[in-house]
Structure 1
């Protein structure tokens, strides 16, 4: 990641490119003179952004953050958000059908969301340069609002939650878009570049807007998990809003896959590992999943033999990785290696226990007809396994080459070598669950 990605004193090249791309459809202008750190004027107030500005900002430190100096006066506004929400509810599909009981209340609250000028700028750039990310933001906004209505929250909490859902991924504007492309194979360096986006969004909201600190914190936590299987901080003690935003971001990713059993899949994803996600979010998702049974097409049939064999391969592979992690944690290895190995062993043990509680590792004759859930569980466990690998070996930038190599040995063949390979999620930067966790 470039240093510009982490410091507001210089223009981030990817965000600037997004602003320029968005300006083709919606004027973006300088709200004040843009000056470098020595006071030299680089761009005049009220002048539209252009590629000339991009050239002038190269390798220049700025007196004020660029985002504070730009405005999109005709950019994303409340009317646009209401239109997007109506479009979502008017669609046919699992998401719109499930949320219709709350649709009128949610649309009414969308119209009342406060949009700071910097937030308006970022949302405008997201809508006009990264359409799928903007659509994901609308879905996450409505899901987060629905879970707060389900919990009986007051209007202030509801609006703050919906706004958090709307802006949670604006940090992706500061990430190389090539790394977020579905076809991109994520590498350790690419992972370390993408995973900082929640912290970038938190920093922008904290320093450049007047939105509540609780909202900024939740946005920074939206990829953290209650059991430590998140990033970028691997935090375990999250705010209430952060817990629920994390869950609804995950659910939004599952629902975007368009599967026949999307709500059942989402329910399983959230409850797979106890303590990983918020109990209220799990209750909401489980209740909606039960209500949706019988209202959506039947799930595609799965191959019984291949599904059971896949679960056994996963069990054996996880057991091998756990044993290797426990040995490395007790070996005379550097402290950082031991710490990462110890965390890997703990998370793998949680994953194994989750499989036992779901009956994933049960003898074949005891499975009965629950093969669809077993198939989904296999997918989720495979992605969690991949997530644990990334978090415990790729996240620590301080590892020396020989330390990195020692940890990598835990994951030799991190995907089982036989049976059908579970594909990467639609967004390869999202890892712990089927389509969501590393965006």
Structure 2
């Protein structure tokens, strides 16, 4: 499942990664067949009310099913609105960097969480995630809370807040359908290209899950599909631009980027604010503004770096961007292969966006560097180097398979980007 075209089919066969997670959950949770399970020719593979086991995995091997497996199973003692509420309360009471955004709406979030409609398929998959990928489950709860809090802060009604919470809760369910080693435990910040190649399809898969296997609104499936998109067209998997970006998708993209920036226990909401502002035009200003305003109200972060060290790091970062611009322009000018040309065009666009963010930050022109400026430099530096690795992976993905000589040139350029 490394390309979008491989995900276009319905869920007629049991996905091995999702099935493995469900079976792992069945070791501690009671997961049973809600109906008889038949293959496409009418042969019964599993009886209604029978608990799932490894024997089911063997029977499903290479079988086309009459109904999607996910629609045939139910977790009787899995995730519920009550357990979701418990997880939400744990988050609200924890020392989370999201506290300035969440706690102002904590009572509202708790009230709505208790009434979230959990479709059986979603409840099954969340149960499997909670058991097999606990970090991913915590991420889902945090996204549910942050998406709901941002919506509540805008004065939205009950239905809109609940829908926003459901979008956050389900946005990464598509990861269940790729190998666990390629999941977003590190928010794709430490992933190599092969892992990224697998990961990039998960918003599309998650959208198919919502649209084909549940009765949730189409706007929810669309938002899930868009949670890694960017308004300037630099996101994935479809590189859509602002005129095609749905309102819920814009919100969910800000939520995902905010959570991605505060994965480490040492990260702060100010760090997320820098990540959201690193490249102008990526995020909806309304939703981004609510995060950045909350961050700006906190005590300024300080850095132990000396001003001379800050200047050296700024100069080094500028040198990396300049070298990347020059190398990519040189290859784009001499390449005759269409795939390579398109990859270089994408790389030039993405690097130009980083340069725009660098220029707009104004940090490079600061005469007297304060401790607060130094902290901002550290955060921006980390974010832009992460973005350079993203340019590398996106360029490789766009190029696809190339002749050896062209591939060697592309690898050289991309390796130089990854060194950032």
TM-score after normalising by structure 1: 0.87
Question: Which of 115, 120, 140 is residue 118 of structure 2 equivalent to?
Answer: 115
1:38-57 alignment, distance < 5 Å: 38-57=41-60
Aligned to 1:432: none
1:1-400 alignment, distance < 5 Å: 1=1, 7=9, 8-180=11-183, 186-236=191-241, 237-259=244-266, 262-293=268-299, 299=302, 301-362=304-365, 365-369=367-371, 370-395=373-398, 397=400
Please identify, of 92-101 and 236-245, the stretch whose mean Cα deviation from structure 2 is larger: 92-101
Deviations 1:194-249 (A, max 9, x none): 21111111111100101011100110111111122221222223111111101111
Deviations 1:35-61 (A, max 9, x none): 122221111111110001111111222
Deviation (angstroms), 1:336: 2.4
Query: Cα–Cα, structure 1 residues 290 and 361, in superposed 2: closer, same or farther, change >3 Å?
Result: closer
Query: Cα–Cα, structure 1 residues 70 and 403, in superposed 2: closer, same or farther, change >3 Å?
Result: farther
Partners of 2:32 and 2:50 within 8 A in 1? yes
DSSP-derived class of the 2:45 partner: strand
Partners of 1:198 and 1:220 within 8 A in 2? yes
Deviation (angstroms), 1:395: 4.7
Deviation (angstroms), 1:2: 7.1
Deviation (angstroms), 1:88: 1.0
Query: Matches of 1:300 and 1:360 in 2, distance apart?
Result: 15
Considering Cα pairs closer than 8 Å and 6+ residues apart, tell me whether 1 or 2 has the greater RCO: 1
| Residue ranges of structure 1 left out of the alignment (5+ in a row) | 422-439
Instruction: Give the number of equivalent residue pairs.
Output: 412
| Residue ranges of structure 2 left out of the alignment (5+ in a row) | none
TM-score after normalising by structure 2: 0.91
Query: Matches of 1:404 and 1:30 in 2, distance apart?
Result: 49
Query: Matches of 2:392 and 2:294 in 1, distance apart?
Result: 32
More helix by share: 2
Query: Matches of 1:219 and 1:134 in 2, distance apart?
Result: 16
1:381-420 alignment, distance < 5 Å: 381-395=384-398, 397=400, 402-416=405-419
